A and B are shown apart, each in its own frame.
Chain A
Amino acid sequence: DARVTQTPRHKVTEMGQEVTMRCQPILGHNTVFWYRQTMMQGLELLAYFRNRAPLDDSGMPKDRFSAEMPDATLATLKIQPSEPRDSAVYFCASGLVEGWQPQHFGDGTRLSIL
């Protein structure tokens, strides 16, 4: 079965450092999503790409977060500078654009900012 691949699986770093999370969507999928999960807020949508173009990033703190798709096989989520409140599990998902199509999630990146 094709899978969404996220790297790294775990990341521990100090406050102020740059963090880059990567996602390889399933080949042929034309939508990519970034979600963040914390105990307090649950699963929140951060960014949404369709055909590599950003369609919605209203859930993302713009001053420190950025999301890009340099090509169809790679999506990145960067945090600079990182803060302890960014500690969370970050999930990437990919799918096809039709509303009935399922999203396929990666196993997530567990981020801890000290």
Chain B
Amino acid sequence: DAKTTQPNSMESNEEEPVHLPCNHSTISGTDYIHWYRQLPSQGPEYVIHGLTSNVNNRMASLAIAEDRKSSTLILHRATLRDAAVYYCILRGGNAGNMLTFGGGTRLMVKP
């Protein structure tokens, strides 16, 4: 199984940037790195994905290490609505088409 490792929890202040790390040392060349988040009482929500290059979208940025063994999800200005559990998941290629959720990182945002 292609696995990821994330810190259990992180804290941030509102309107400050947040960097959520993820290690995936067993990633294969065809695995995409996906990030999802789950707000309280909701289903998981897609945030961003990447393969080799850094990616930006309206929700976040994804920075991928050159060796692809780690990545960082960047929220540029955290808001209280960003408080959620963030999951880093490998998909496609050797990881298969399913999403295998680990424990994720619980992000707490302080006003």
Contacts and interface: CB of A to CB of B under 8 A. Distances in A.
Interface of A: 4, 31, 33, 35, 42-45, 48, 50, 56, 91, 93, 97-100, 102-108
A99 B101 contact: no
10 contacts: A35-B101, A42-B102, A42-B104, A45-B99, A93-B43, A99-B30, A99-B32, A100-B51, A102-B49, A105-B43
Interface of B: 30-32, 34, 42-46, 49, 51, 87, 91-93, 95, 97-104
B43 A99 contact: no
Contacts, number: 55
Contacts of A97: 97
Nearest to A59: B98
Contacts of A56: 98
A44 B98 CA distance: 10
A87 to B, nearest CB: 16
B30 A105 contact: no
Contact of B43 (A44, A91, A100, A102): A91
Contacts of B92: 98-100
Given A99-B93, A100-B92, A103-B44, 20 more contacts: A33-B98, A33-B99, A35-B101, A42-B103, A43-B87, A43-B101, A44-B101, A45-B99, A48-B98, A93-B43, A99-B31, A99-B92, A100-B32, A100-B49, A102-B34, A102-B46, A103-B99, A105-B44, A105-B45, A107-B42
